[in-house]
Amino acid sequence: MSHGWSKLSGPLGTPEGFNVAFLDLPWPGVWAWLVALVETFGGLCVIVGLFTRVAAALIACVMIVAIVKVRAAEGFVGGFEFEFALLMIALALMLQGAGRLSVDRDVLGRDDGREPLAETGSDD
């Protein structure tokens, strides 16, 4: 989330300042804003547990592009290890969902189909 926020609010707050033109993607300004929004609001959604699976999927896409297009040539250690860790976390959240303490479950009433944990204690 902090990486996206710094892109939106800092000196990189213009499409030209995101410096994604070197990636050779069409419409670099559009992609730059999209990545900044996904990082910022996707990160916020993951933190509070709102649309967690969707947010994690979008973050995973950003991390795949970051690894393949930006960091792969640098190798794993000292290169794309951080992006890889974020990708693995995003994939885990896509598979597992937000969990018990989330806006999805507590406020919106959406359940992911998992059984609640058994209560501890005895019935005696």
Q: What is the longest distance spanned by two Cα atoms in the chain?
A: 68
Residue 53 lies inside a defined structural domain of this protein: yes
Higher pLDDT, 110 or 88: 88
* Each residue's pLDDT tens digit, 29-59: 788 889 889 999 999 999 999 999 999 999 9
Residue 123 lies inside a defined structural domain of this protein: no
Q: How confident is the model at residue 124 (pLDDT cuts 50, 70, 90)?
A: low
Which of 3-17, 34-48, 85-99 shows the lowest per-residue confidence on average (mean pLDDT)? 3-17
* Each residue's pLDDT tens digit, 48-90: 999 999 999 999 999 999 999 888 889 999 999 999 999 999 9
Q: What is the total residue count of the chain? A: 124
Domain, as residue range, for 16? 2-106
Dist. CA 81–CA 72, nearest whole Å: 10
Dist. CA 83–CA 63, nearest whole Å: 6
Residue 98 lies inside a defined structural domain of this protein: yes
Whether residue 27 has pLDDT greater than 90: no
Whole-structure pTM value = 0.78
Higher pLDDT, 99 or 78: 78
Residue 67 lies inside a defined structural domain of this protein: yes
